Structure formats: C-alpha cells, structure tokens
Amino acid sequence: MLFHYIKQSLKHGAVSLVRRQVYFWMMVVVPLASSWFFFDLMNEGAVERVPVGIVDLDNTSLSRTLTRNLSAFKTVDV
C-alpha cells in the first residue's frame, strides 16, 4: 500500500516536470549549467592575488577595518 503512494507521488512529480518547463529548467538545466560554469572556471586552479581597489573617502574606523581585513587575505592584492 505504501509503495503505491510513493509510485503515485513520483509519477505526479515527473508529470509536473514535463508539463511545466520552468520546473524542468530550475531542477535540471540550471544546476547542470552552473556546475559546468564553476568547474570550467576552476579548471586552471585556484585564483591567486586578485587586484582590488578601495576608495576610502570617509576614512572612518569601519572603512579602515574593512581595508585591513581585505589586506589580510592572501588571495587579495589591495
């Protein structure tokens, strides 16, 4: 009896995927495309020494802390 409900639920989900293309795109195509994008992006290895420019016009303690924290990362070149 329980197997019947599981089978019915799976059938309903498959029919919904086929009938509404947005479900198919969001559950299948978009995750595959984004996975491919990030795997291709990292194909050459990890990113090192990304140049970052900071314009500090207010010179507050928050902006100085942010600049100091960004400078602490080894992957960021401020």
Is 47 a residue whose pLDDT tops 80? no
Residues 37 and 16 both lie in one domain: yes
Residues 37 and 14 both lie in one domain: yes
- Residue of higher predicted confidence among 78 and 62: 62
CA distance 32 to 37: 9
Q: Which amino acid is at 22?
A: V
Residues 3 and 38 both lie in one domain: yes
Total domains, the chain: 2
Write the CA distances from 24 to 12, 14, 28, integer angstroms: 14, 9, 6
72: tokens are 């602490």
Cα–chain center distance at 47: 16
- Residue of higher predicted confidence among 31 and 56: 31
CA distance 70 to 56: 13
Q: What is the pLDDT of residue 11?
A: 95
Residues 34 and 66 both lie in one domain: no
Residues 29 and 19 both lie in one domain: yes
In the chain, % of residues over pLDDT 90: 40
Q: What is the pLDDT of residue 10?
A: 95
Domain that holds residue 55: 46-78
CA distance 39 to 17: 26
pLDDT, tens digit, 9 for 90 and up, residues 52-61: 888 889 989 9
